[in-house]
Amino acid sequence: MKKLILSIAALALIVVACQNNSDEAIPNQEAAVDMSDFYVYTSNSDVSAKSSTEAKNDKCASMKVLNQQLRDNPGLENRMFQIEKHTREFIAAKGNSSGKGKPGGGTTPPPPTAYVGTINIPVYVHVIYSNSAQNISAAQINSQITVLNNDFNDTNFSNVPAEFQSVGADIDINFTLNSANIVRHSDATASWGTNNNVKTKYPPVAGYLNFWVCNIGGGILGYAQFPGGNASTDGVVIGPEYFGSSDFTSGYFSAPYDKGRTATHEVGHWLNLRHIWGDGRCQQDDFVLDTPSSDGPNYGCPSYPTVNCKSTDMTMNYMDYTDDDCMNMFTLGQNDRIRAIFASGGARESFVQ
């Protein structure tokens, strides 16, 4: 959307001065990165920017959960700031073949080194059920892995409008699930809410992308934790009827969210992607250059073009709120953000070490 990298030096100076509160020389890398538009807090009302009826349809609770975590954990905002700074340094170095910042004094830290090639993410699935329907089959669980691998390895964007075809991205992540890493728990809890209680009771296993498949309630399909959060709550929670795809198996499904795109969207958050409308009006950003501005989420299966903020909404992006069947792309800019967290010093670098 907006400019990300090339900044007015004075602006970077102010940001750095506020952050460090010191008189130290500004390292070159700091001067190359503009953090002036960075924010992590979004009030719940911002999500429903387009109309009041949409407030009832906030199907993803990731930002709400993040806001609660920011209130509970004063160190989290700084950790997310540092992750964002690292991401922007990575993208800045990518756009500058010398990999160096502006000339100046002080020690220049090397820019993050990219991980090149397929990223392999082992998956762990916790199924927590209070009735037999919620105890979804292995076939339904495996169909979700198929969807993730399809969506994160997409190379054909002929199905998206011509306006967006050139920015479609193959993220090149391979998700693997060993059948031994599906664990099932019968539990009397009927609705788990979005307070991470399910993770406290059934803790994540380190070294995996953890999914908790359980009834959340309140019309919420799922929520994810962004990079930077506590390891004890890291992962993605999704309702059982939204996990997997009815294209590949029969099972417990709820259309129009029955094609596995809730997980694709939530894993996007887990990989540090924001909602495509930036969780605010036109001026709020998702920190991605090639996604157009939008003033709120889109629902259903919008006709093309849907115009907001003087540009065409990318309603088919996985980070919007449209129906599963009507989502089909990540962008090159989103891929850069994802790749950054696997680069040297990145928040999820351990997966590629």
Binding-site size, Zn ion (CB under 5 A): 2
Write out the two tokens for 214: 């359980």
Q: Nearest distance from residue 60's CB to Zn ion, in Å?
A: 3
Q: Nearest distance from residue 330's CB to Zn ion, in Å?
A: 14
Q: Nearest distance from residue 209's CB to Zn ion, in Å?
A: 16
Q: 130: helix, coil or strand?
A: coil
Q: Nearest distance from residue 62's CB to Zn ion, in Å?
A: 4
Write out the two tokens for 283: 């001026």
Binding residue for Zn ion (CB under 5 A) from 7, 28, 42, 62?
Answer: 62
Q: For residue 94, which of 78, 113, 75, 119 has the smallest C-alpha distance?
A: 113
Q: Nearest distance from residue 285's CB to Zn ion, in Å?
A: 16
Please provide the DSSP assignment of 220-257 as one string. --EEEPPTTS-GGG-SEEE-GGGSSBTTT--SS--TTS
Q: In this chain, which stretch among 61-69, 128-136, 164-172, 206-214 interacts with Zn ion, using CB under 5 A?
A: 61-69
- Alpha-carbon Rg for the chain, nearest whole angstrom, is 20
Q: In this chain, which stretch among 59-67, 103-111, 247-255, 340-348 interacts with Zn ion, using CB under 5 A?
A: 59-67
The one catalytic residue in 30, 84, 89, 266 is: 266
CA distance 260 to 41: 28
- Of 66-105, binders to Zn ion (CB under 5 A) are none
Q: Nearest distance from residue 150's CB to Zn ion, in Å?
A: 19
CB nearer Zn ion, residue 60 or residue 91: 60
Check: CB of residue 348 under 8 Å from CB of residue 235. Answer: no
CB nearer Zn ion, residue 60 or residue 347: 60
CB nearer Zn ion, residue 33 or residue 271: 271
CB nearer Zn ion, residue 33 or residue 49: 49
Nearest-CB residue to Zn ion? 60
Helix (H) or strand (E) holding 83: helix 76-94
The residue to which tokens 């990300």 are assigned:
4
Note if 89 is an active site residue: no
Q: Nearest distance from residue 307's CB to Zn ion, in Å?
A: 23
Q: In this chain, which stretch among 57-65, 121-129, 305-313, 336-344 interacts with Zn ion, using CB under 5 A?
A: 57-65
Q: In this chain, which stretch among 55-63, 102-110, 122-130, 281-289 interacts with Zn ion, using CB under 5 A?
A: 55-63
Write out the two tokens for 299: 């629902």
Residue 287 neighbours by CB under 8 Å, 6+ apart: 1, 4, 37, 38, 84, 87, 274, 278, 337
CA distance 2 to 17: 23
Binding residue for Zn ion (CB under 5 A) from 4, 60, 92, 316?
Answer: 60
Q: In this chain, which stretch among 43-51, 58-66, 136-144, 294-302 interacts with Zn ion, using CB under 5 A?
A: 58-66
Q: Helices 138-151 and 261-270: crossing angle, nearest 10°?
A: 60
Write out the two tokens for 140: 């339904």
CB nearer Zn ion, residue 62 or residue 87: 62
Q: What angle do CA 78, 81, 85 make, to 5 degrees?
A: 140
CA distance 266 to 139: 21
Check: CB of residue 290 under 8 Å from CB of residue 331. Answer: yes
CB nearer Zn ion, residue 29 or residue 225: 225
Does 134 help bind Zn ion (rule: CB under 5 A)? no
Check: CB of residue 126 under 8 Å from CB of residue 213. Answer: yes
CB nearer Zn ion, residue 193 or residue 203: 193
Residue 289 neighbours by CB under 8 Å, 6+ apart: 1, 2, 3, 4, 333
The residue to which tokens 């075809």 are assigned:
165
Q: What are the residues binding Zn ion (CB under 5 A)?
A: 60, 62
- For the annotated catalytic residues, the residue numbers are 266
